């Protein structure tokens, strides 16, 4: 009996050990490999949430799709929303201006092609890109021609100057409705540029525009033609060490976080040129044509006034954050004008020598 009891006890112990071995505790390695629940990513804030319409546009009889690549924090862009709201009110909801900033419809060259065929009805094109529509539109980018806010106002209000500019692309099916701005061009750089000798050490990013390429070649400065979306990384990595742009854009888009110096070259006004597909416009009822053009003209004029103020505000904010603003000397300015003579000659042939001379003489260049 004792022998039998011993055998039974041994069997119980064997079964117990076997059960424990069938369910081993997880090792630390196994625990580390076990999947864990990921916290849900916070939803991204809509950058355009503050600009949504306070009306329902679904019942509009006509829609005007208006494109732009920049941010409506810039007054020359915010005008698109003011145009939207006033046109809606004055047309009693018949015409909806569907404003699409922040490159929602693509880059500028792509949108220009869409505008020509009517897939997009309107575009607030940067002045540097607008020269790809018609050479005459490049006149506002020539150095030291339309280079101040006062000269810009004179250019816009003088029919002898404005009408040629306004009508230059009609044969291409595009109307120029009006212009707004984004400030005065200079150089935002990672190291201070106090002279043209300093500028020779900088690799400037310039826009994809024929006028700008010719200018920088004539000035003998190093440059890289680069799409705007590629600029942040290129600036951070040192691929470029300077930007050809305006204080408004550089501060609002945080480029001054890296390029903490700004040389006030003041050689051109940055402009948004409001382009309209001519065929679409002519098919719009006459009363809506009048409303649209009236509102564009009035709101664009107001935007130009606001841009003057915004430039001073953005310069002050940038200076508070440690950005140094450096005036270009008169001697260096004269040298840049002399170096640009081949550009005036080349673009005079494209634009029309007589028209260029009229603009320069009227504006006091």
Do residues 250 and 188 lie in contact, with contact meaning Cβ atoms separated by under 8 Å?
yes
Q: Is the pLDDT of residue 198 over 50?
A: yes
Backbone region of residue 241 per phi and psi (left: phi > 0; alpha: psi in -120 to 50; beta: other values): alpha
Q: DSSP alpha helices (H): ranges in the chain? A: 2-22, 28-33, 75-90, 108-117, 127-130, 149-157, 159-167, 196-199, 210-219, 231-237, 247-252, 278-282, 286-320, 330-339, 341-351, 353-363
Mean pLDDT on 53-82: 96
pLDDT for 26 equals: 42
pLDDT for 186 equals: 98
Q: Is the pLDDT of residue 19 over 80?
A: no
- 244, part of any domain: no
- Other CB atoms closer than 10 Å to residue 27's CB: what's the count? 9
- Other CB atoms closer than 10 Å to residue 9's CB: what's the count? 10
Do residues 83 and 98 lie in contact, with contact meaning Cβ atoms separated by under 8 Å?
no
- 158, part of any domain: yes
Mean pLDDT on 258-287: 98
Do residues 209 and 125 lie in contact, with contact meaning Cβ atoms separated by under 8 Å?
no
Answer with the residue of higher pLDDT: 84 or 12: 84
CATH of the domain at 343: 3.40.190.170
DSSP state at residue 55: S
Mean pLDDT on 27-56: 65
At 43, is the pLDDT very low, low, confident or very high (cuts 50, 70, 90)? low
pLDDT for 24 equals: 41
- 238, part of any domain: no
pLDDT for 309 equals: 98
Q: Is the pLDDT of residue 338 over 80?
A: yes
Do residues 215 and 343 lie in contact, with contact meaning Cβ atoms separated by under 8 Å?
yes
Mean pLDDT on 73-84: 97
Q: What is the pTM of this model?
A: 0.85
For residue 141, which of 132, 153, 156, 131 has the smallest C-alpha distance? 131
pLDDT in tens, 206-251: 988 889 999 999 999 999 998 888 999 999 999 999 999 999 999 9
Q: What are phi and psi of 26, to 5 degrees?
A: -65, 140
- 195, part of any domain: no
- 298, part of any domain: yes
The token duo for 90 is: 């004055």
- 13, part of any domain: no
pLDDT in tens, 95-131: 999 999 998 998 888 999 999 999 999 999 999 889 9
Residue 107: Cβ-neighbour burial (10 angstroms; 0-12, 13-18, 19+)? middle
Report the alpha-carbon angle 268-306-179, nearest 5.
Answer: 50
- 3, part of any domain: no
Number of domains in the chain: 1
Residue 41: Cβ-neighbour burial (10 angstroms; 0-12, 13-18, 19+)? exposed
pLDDT for 41 equals: 61
Q: Is the pLDDT of residue 30 over 80?
A: no
**What does the mean pLDDT of the chain come to?**
90
DSSP state at residue 336: H
- Report percent pLDDT > 90 for the chain: 80
- 28, part of any domain: no
Report the alpha-carbon angle 339-343-348, nearest 5.
Answer: 140
pLDDT in tens, 134-186: 999 999 999 999 999 999 999 999 999 999 999 999 999 999 999 999 999 99
pLDDT for 40 equals: 59
What domain range includes position 357? 59-187+264-363
């Amino acid at each position: 009996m004792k022998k039998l009891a011993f055998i039974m006890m041994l069997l119980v112990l064997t079964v117990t050990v076997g059960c424990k071995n069938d369910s081993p505790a997880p090792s630390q390695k196994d625990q580390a490999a076990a999947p864990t629940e990921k916290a849900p990513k916070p939803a991204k804030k809509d950058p355009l949430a503050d600009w949504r319409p306070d009306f329902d546009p679904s019942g509009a009889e006509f829609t005007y799709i208006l494109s732009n690549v920049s941010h409506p924090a810039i007054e020359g862009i915010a005008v698109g929303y003011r145009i939207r709201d006033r046109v809606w009110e004055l047309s009693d909801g018949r015409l909806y201006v569907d404003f699409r900033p922040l490159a929602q419809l693509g880059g500028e060259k792509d949108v220009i092609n869409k505008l020509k065929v009517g897939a997009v009805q309107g575009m607030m094109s940067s002045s540097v890109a607008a020269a790809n529509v018609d050479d005459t539109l490049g006149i506002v980018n020539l150095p030291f021609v339309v280079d101040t806010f006062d000269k810009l106002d004179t250019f816009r209000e003088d029919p002898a100057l404005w009408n040629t500019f306004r009508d230059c692309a009609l044969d291409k099916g595009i109307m120029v409705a009006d212009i707004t701005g984004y400030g005065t061009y200079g150089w935002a750089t990672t190291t201070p540029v106090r002279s043209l000798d300093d500028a020779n050490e900088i690799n400037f990013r310039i826009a994809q525009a024929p006028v700008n390429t010719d200018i920088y070649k004539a000035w003998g400065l190093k440059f890289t033609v680069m799409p705007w979306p590629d600029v942040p990384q290129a600036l951070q990595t040192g691929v470029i060490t300077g930007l050809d742009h305006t204080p408004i854009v550089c501060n609002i888009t945080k480029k001054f976080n890296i390029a903490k110096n700004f040389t006030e070259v003041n050689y051109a006004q940055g402009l948004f040129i409001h382009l309209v597909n001519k065929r679409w416009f002519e098919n719009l009822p006459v009363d809506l044509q009048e409303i649209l053009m009236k509102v564009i003209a009035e709101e664009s004029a107001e935007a130009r006034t606001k841009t003057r103020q915004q430039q001073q505000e953005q310069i002050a904010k940038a200076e508070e954050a440690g950005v140094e603003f450096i005036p270009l000397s008169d001697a260096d300015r004269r040298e840049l004008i002399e170096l640009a003579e081949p550009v005036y000659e080349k673009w005079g042939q494209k634009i029309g020598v007589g028209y260029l001379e009229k603009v320069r003489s009227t504006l006091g260049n």
